[in-house]
Each structure stands twice: as structure tokens, then as C-alpha cells.
Amino acid sequence: MTNQEFSRYESYTACEIPWLDFLPTHWECKDLKYVSTINPCGYRATNHEIVTFLPMEAVTTKGETDNSRVGERGLYPASLTEFRRCDVILAKITPCFENGKAAYLHQLTTEKGIGSTEFHVIRADTKIMEPRFTYYLVSNCEFRRYAECFMEGSAGQKRVTTPFLTNMKFPIPCLPTQQRIANYLDQKTAEIDEAIAKKQRLIELLKEQKAILINQAVTKGLNPDAPMRESGVEWIGEVPGHWEVRPNRYVFREINERSEKGEEIHLSMSQKLGLVPAKDLNVLTLQSESYEGAKLCLEGDLVLNRLKAHLAVFSTAPCDGVVSPDYSVFRLQEKRFKSEYFENLFKTPMYLSEFNRRVRGIVVGFYRLYSSDFNAISCIVPPDHEQTQIMQRVCEISSHVSSSQAHIVKEIEAILEFKAILISSAVTGKIKI
């Protein structure tokens, strides 16, 4: 955003807003309570009353709600937040507030609804405030950074309080100016969001391309002219003629060794990162006081989370360590086998489909892939030198895609930064719209 693209107002003056140094001279500085009603009332649904329920995760940062997450609910025994069409809602709890969770409710399926009390509801006085301008005001990154310093509560559960929001001063131009700014930001943010969506779609296409290339490499090999033969397993189909197909029980053996003192590195499974030292995970997890008796694994072992193996939650152990007793640990029976090859093989669509077919359990969400079922699954086994070549190719593919993704992510971050600056500059009068 350059000076050539935008002009400034004729004159500015110092203002009382703590997160803003100056305002256009003809703008006013007012407490939010004088131009809006904050949290109009609590709500208690009555018998048989049907209202639109807005859960916290339905809030988007695009000035609207994700209607796919908004459902019709019935009686609620607890007090909830009431909202109406054209209200602005603002998440009050960390980290939703810091992440910019806010919405302008103009696409509701009904005139009114209810939602979590972790929302602040801002109902603009439409005679003097444009609701969309209000939305952009509370989405302003400068206001949010200031408000974070005054959130109250314990760590991880801090909230923006009602008194703070009610008495917070905001820059208020005349209504026509608000409407002009809101119209401009609606158009520009829509264009920006469309550009971001295209780049995110490009990332998805890169992931799809990576999956296709890896699938081809680990199931058909690197030589497109290699003679093929039927594998003898219907769901596997053809394989290169010189490759073996054998049940997993002849490739792996299950290991159930236990730690005597539990002093080994504690490894934890992440769907995104694989099997990593628990200390490397950026999320809070329940930690045992002692890992004495925990299951041992060695570097190169294939470790499966039995409960989520059909969701591709398994990985090669990066080092010796201990894992949850509910994990399965499989060790290759021959040194010529490469565990990384088999990890990539098992993450192909056809193997995950077979895992899903074989999981067992009483309730959905608690299905497990038991060792006997894993051992019965047929495994494609290329010669050892081809396993090495295939994994080299997989690494090349992954490196190229990761590099391309990182470049696109940086572009998205730059666009989002521009969007935040644009909104902030427009609603605080730094640029003239």
C-alpha cells in the first residue's frame, strides 16, 4: 500500500484513543457504548422454541458466518448469548480473540439466534453507526493488540471483559463516511480473500500431485517400461513382475519389549509430524509421571497408533525410545527392507482403504487395527536397491513440494498482512476512502 494508491485527509488531530495517535480532524472519538448496545441481553430458550444456534467454530474472519456449521437447536437450560441479523459478534476468549474471530451476521437463516456466552454481541445504533463499519473496527489489528494487554483470567482462558469493550473509545466518522469505507472494504477484502483462496487451492493441488507421484513410485516403481504381472491380490492389482507380494507377517514381527526404568526418550504420535519426541510437540499433552513399563521401540521400527492407524497415524521411529502401550511396534525381519518405504506404501489410498476395511470395534471412533489384521494384509516388496531408489525419489518429490508450498505460504502471509493494514488504515482514517 503506497502513498500513490491512497490519499490522506486534509488535517489530523491528536485523539484520546490509547491505541491510536491521531484522527482526521472532522472524525469523533466515542466510547463504543454510546454508538452500540453491548451484549443486549442473556437468552433462555423456552419449550419447543427453535432458534439458530451459532457455535464458536462457526465464526469466520470474513464478515459472515459459516452457515454449514449453523444448525437448528431446541431447548437450552443455560443462559446463552442472543444475536440478531446485522449484529456484530466478537470472540472474547483467547486464543479466538487473538486469531481475529469476529463476524457480521448478515446471512442468518432466521432473524434471531443464540450462541456461546464466549461471544460479545455488538448491536449498532444504525442511526449513527454502520454495522459493517463496526465489524471492521473490532477486526482492526491495532485495537486487538491493545486489548490483549487487558484480557483477564488464567493463562489460556483470558477474556476481553464487557466493561473494557463498553468503555473502549473508537474512531467514529459520520455515517455516510462509515458506509463508504465499509463498501470499499467489502469489495477489497472479497478480492483479497479470493486471491488467498486461489493460492490455498494451489497448495491443495500440490499436495494432490505429491500423493499421486508417491503412490505411483511405491506401488509401480520408477521404471514405466517394467513388465507387470497380477499380484494375486484383487485390491492391489498389477505390480512389476520382479517384485514380491507377501503377507505383512513375513515382513514384520511385532515387538512388545518394555522399559525397565522409563528413562528412554518419550515419543509421541502426531498426525502431522509423525512419531517425534514429546517435547517437540507444540501442544499440551497429558504426561505420565513415569514411563516405567512403557513399550520400547528402536530407530526404524514401524509404530502404529492402533486406534488411528486407518487414518494414517503411524510412522517410522526416528530414534530409540518409549511409546504408549496402546501403540503397536513392528520391526522388519530382514535388513534389506527399508522401513521408510513401507511407511509410504501403507499411506497410499489403497492401503488405507484396506486398513479401514479391517479395523474392528464396538463404536465408531474406537475402531482399532489389531496386529492379527495388520499381519494378514499383503505387502508389496521391491528389491532392496529399488526400495532405496524409490525413497530417494520420494524425498525429491517431498522436497520440491515443500519448497513450493513454503513460497506460497509466504505469499499468503504477505497478502494477509496487507489486508490487516488496509482495514486498520481505512477505519482509523490514516487513508482517505
The per-residue pLDDT string of the chain (433 residues; one tens digit each, 9 = 90 and over) reads 544 468 999 999 999 999 999 999 999 999 999 999 998 875 555 555 555 666 666 666 555 566 656 655 554 445 677 888 888 988 888 877 777 788 888 766 667 777 778 889 999 999 999 999 999 999 999 999 999 999 998 877 889 999 999 999 999 999 999 999 999 999 999 999 999 999 999 999 999 999 999 999 999 999 999 999 999 999 999 999 999 999 999 999 999 999 888 888 999 988 888 899 988 776 545 455 667 888 999 999 999 999 999 999 999 999 999 998 889 999 999 988 999 999 999 999 999 999 999 999 887 778 899 999 999 999 999 999 999 999 999 999 999 999 999 999 999 999 999 999 999 999 999 999 9
- The grid coordinates of residue 62 equal 470474513
Buried b (16+ CB within 10 A) or exposed e, 236-274: beebbeebeeeebbebbeebeeebeeeebbbbbbbeeeb
- Tens digits of residue pLDDT in 168-211: 999 999 999 999 999 999 999 999 999 999 999 999 999 999 99
| Same domain membership, residue 234 and residue 166 | no
- Same domain membership, residue 149 and residue 77: yes
- On whether both 321 and 250 belong to a single domain, the answer is yes
Claim to verify: residue 358 and residue 260 sit in the same structural domain: yes
Domain boundary at 381, 397, 420, which?
381
Q: Say whether pTM exceeds 0.75.
A: yes
- Within a domain: residue 395? no
Residue 60 contacts residue 92 (beta carbons within 8 Å): no
Provide the domain limits for residue 333: 222-381
Q: What is the pLDDT of residue 314?
A: 95
Distance CA 168, CA 383 (A): 70
Number of domains in the chain: 2
Instruction: Please give the torsion angle defined by the CA atoms of residues 116, 120, 124 and 125, in that order, rounded to the nearest 10 degrees.
Output: 100
